[in-house]
Amino acid sequence: MSEIPTTRWVTEMGMGVDVRGRDYTKAARRAVFDALRHSSLNLFDAAGVRRDEMHVAVMIGCGEPDQVDTAAVAQEVPYGIVTVHAEKGGLDVPPIDAEGTGAVTIANAAILVSFPTSI
């Protein structure tokens, strides 16, 4: 299957934290929610495009990208053709004791919204 050429129209960034559980998916979902709650895309009518035509690429940076459930993260995005990719980044704050108390997992998200170039 060939990839449709697209042009990026929007870039949003967000940060999410799991304060105690070292849950990379939870931190990633919160990062995506953070990015999305700061945006309102009013371009659909003006540009003559539909929400379902959006290509939404979600990039997650966290300490353990293989522990991110990308399908769960994709559920945070309400419209469009969504892809999620996790890579090394973010920050793991070490615990303050051997039981893991105070461990903090921070994930960053970049959300890239594109439309087919022909639009």
What DSSP element (H or E) covers 82?
Answer: strand 81-88
Tokens encoding 115: 């439309």
What's the rounded mean pLDDT across residues 59-80?
97
* Coil/strand/helix, residue 1: coil
Q: How sure is the predictor about 119, in pLDDT bands with cuts at 50, 70 and 90? A: low
Residue pair 29/72 in contact (Cβ under 8 Å)? The answer is: yes
Find all residues with CB under 8 Å of 99, minimum gap 6, and list them: none
Tokens encoding 78: 């309400």
What's the rounded mean pLDDT across residues 19-47?
89
Stronger pLDDT, 10 or 60, i.e. the higher one: 60
CATH superfamily of 6-40+48-116: Tubulin/FtsZ, C-terminal domain (3.30.1330.20)
Residue 2 has pLDDT above 70, yes or no: no
Amino acid 1: pLDDT: 42
